[in-house]
Chain A
Amino acid sequence: MTSPTDVTFPSEHKVQRPRPKLERDSRGYWEALRKHQLVIQRCLECKAFRHHPRPMCPECHSLQFEWAPVSGRGTVYSYSVITQSLHPYWTDKIPYNVVLVELEEGIRIVSSLVDCPNESIHIGMPVSVVFEDVSEEISLPMFKPLRPE
C-alpha cells in the first residue's frame, strides 16, 4: 500500500542512515565525535552539563562552555524496540532498538545498542560507547553492553 507520503527509491540505491546537520550551536559535539571522543556540553562557570547543546547555561546564564569529555559508560534508562520502518535505511533492519542511555555524568542521550539482541535489553543494563563512522564528517555514538549478553 502506498500513499503520497511514502518514501520510495530505485532498488539499486542504498540509502544512508540519516546524518546530523553541523550547526553552529552543536558543531563541537559532532567534531569531537569524529575523533571518537564523546563529549557533553558543560558550563565553565557553574559546571552544569546540558544536552542537547544550547548557547547559554540555563542555570547561571553564562555563555562560556566547554565540550567536556565523558567516560562513555552508563546504563540503559529506557528503551524501545521499533517494529515499523519509516525510513528506507531501516527497511531491512526492523525490529531495531532505540535506547536512552544515562551516562555516569548524569546526562541522558538517545542512541542504539549494538552487539546485543533486542530481547536482552533491560533498564539498568551497563553499557559503554562505541563509534560508528557514517560519513567523512560524522561518527555516531552507539553503545554496547559492558558485559557480553
Chain B
Amino acid sequence: MKARALQNKAAIVGIGCTEFSRNSGRSEYQLALEAAVAACADAGISPHEIDCITLSSYQSETVDEAELINGLGIKNLSFLGSVGHGGGAPCAVVGHAALAVATGMANYALCLRALNSRSEFRYGQFDKERNKGEVEAPIPWFYAFLHPYGSFTPAHWAAFWARRHMHEFGTKPEHFGAIAVAARKHAARNPNARFYKQPITMDDYLGCRMVADPIRLFDCCLETDGACAVIVTSAERAKDLRHPPSYIRAMAQGTGGSGLFPITAFNRERLTGMEETIRMADFLFEMADLRREDIDVAELYDHFGPLVLLSIEDLGFCKRGEGGAFVEGGRIELGGELPINTHGGLVAEAYIHGFNHIVEGVRQTRGTSTAQVEGAQHVLVTSADGVPTSGLILSRS
C-alpha cells in the first residue's frame, strides 16, 4: 500500500488560537504571529526552531512566509509551500507538513490561517476586491456567468445543492436544522466560540430568516476575525514534547472527476453529493486502514450546515439520500453515535477557514475538548469541498 507510508509517522504537537471576534482590532499579520507563538508555547518549542511553513493560498490571504520569517525571527526554512483553494486546503496544509517532517525534510512545521473575515474582507458580501473596488466594473472569469443574476456568494451556490437534495430524497428543513442545533449545542459549552452559551431550538432554526432559500441564517458560517496555528513534527520527536501527540493517521486530497467551481460543477452528473469528497474519503480510509465505524468524532467543514448532510453521505457514514435520517435523534450531538463539530464548527464557533476544525480534532485526541467524546481514539477532520478538498484522520495513539 503506497499510501500507508505516512501512517502515524508525524503528529500535531502544538495548537494555538487567538480569540474569535467580529473585530480583532489588529492586523491579520499580528493575529498570525500571536497564534504561531501560542502554538509553539503549547508544543514547548521556540519559534526559532521552526524550519518548515506550509500555508493555504486563496485570494484573501495576506500573511505569507516572508512575513512569518520576519515576524518570528525564523532562522532558516528547509521546506516551504502552499496549498491552494482556501477552505479546501487546511487538512492538506497539515498533511504536506507531515510529509516534510516524516521524510526528514524538516523538524518542526508551522501551519496557520489568520483572517479578519468580519472586519475587513468579507467573502459573504459582494466581492469588490475582485472588481477593483468598483461595483459596476465588468465581471471576469466564471463569475461572469453568475454575478449578472445576483448570484454572488457561496450561500447562493450551496442553495442549489441543498434544494436538489430536498427534491431527490425528501430531505426536510428539520434535517438541516438538526445540524445547526447540534453545532449551537456544542458551541454553547465552548468559551472561545462566538455562540458560547447561546444554544438554539429547532423552532429557533425554522423561524430564523432565509438568506438564499433553502439556506437560512443559522446555516451560514460566521465571518470571523481570528487565527489558528498548529505545530507538526515527526512521531519520534513528538514523544518528548509536552502534550500527548495527535498522530496523523492519514491525510488525503481529492478533486473528483468532472470539474470544479460553480458553473462547471453545476454540470456534474448529480448535485446531491461532492465527487471530490467521495474520492478523498476512499483514499483517506484506505491509508488509515480504518473503517467508518472506527471514527469516534468528526469535525466536518461546515461553511453551510446543509452541505454537512451531503458530506456525511459522501464520506460513507450512510447511503446516498439517507443523510436526513442520519442526523435525526441527536446522533450527531455529544453523546450520540457520531458527534459532529464538537467545537461548534464554522457556523457556531468561528470561521477560521477550517483550521479551527483541526485544532478541535487535536483537542479530542488529547481529551481536552469542551465537548469531549469519552475515550476518543480516531477523529476525522475535513476541509471544504466544491474546491480541491482534503481530510485528516487524527489518532490518540
A→B interface (CB under 8 Å): 3-7, 9, 15-23, 26, 50-52, 58, 77-90, 93, 95-96, 98, 100, 107-112, 123, 134, 140
Residues of A within 8 A of B151 (CB): 82, 98, 110
In the complex, which of the residues A3, A51, A87 contacts B152, with contact meaning CB atoms closer than 8 Å?
Answer: A87
Least CB distance, A42 to chain B, in whole angstroms: 13
- What is the total number of residues of chain B having a CB less than 8 Å from a CB of chain A? 46
**Given A82-B156, A87-B150, A109-B145, does the pair A51, B139 have CB atoms closer than 8 Å?**
no
CB pair A80–B140 under 8 Å, yes or no, is no
In the A-B complex, the 8 residue pairs with the smallest Cβ-Cβ separation, listed nearest first, are A20-B144, A80-B159, A21-B138, A78-B160, A18-B147, A81-B213, A86-B126, A52-B263
CB pair B149–A52 under 8 Å, yes or no, is no
Residues of A within 8 A of B119 (CB): 3-4
B146 at the interface (CB under 8 A from A): yes
> Can you identify 21 A-B contacts, CB atoms within 8 angstroms?
A3-B122, A15-B135, A16-B136, A18-B136, A18-B139, A18-B147, A18-B148, A19-B139, A20-B138, A21-B138, A23-B141, A51-B264, A77-B271, A78-B163, A80-B213, A83-B213, A85-B150, A98-B149, A108-B267, A110-B146, A110-B266
Closest chain B residue, CB of each to CB of A109: B145
CB pair A98–B156 under 8 Å, yes or no, is yes
Residue from A6, A87, A110 with most neighbouring chain B CB atoms (10 Å): A110
Known: A18-B138, A83-B213, A140-B149. 19 other contacts (CB 8 A): A4-B120, A5-B120, A5-B128, A7-B128, A15-B136, A18-B136, A22-B138, A51-B145, A51-B264, A80-B213, A81-B213, A86-B152, A86-B153, A87-B126, A87-B147, A100-B266, A110-B149, A110-B263, A123-B167
A17 to B282, CA, bound (A): 44
A16 to B136, CA, bound (A): 7
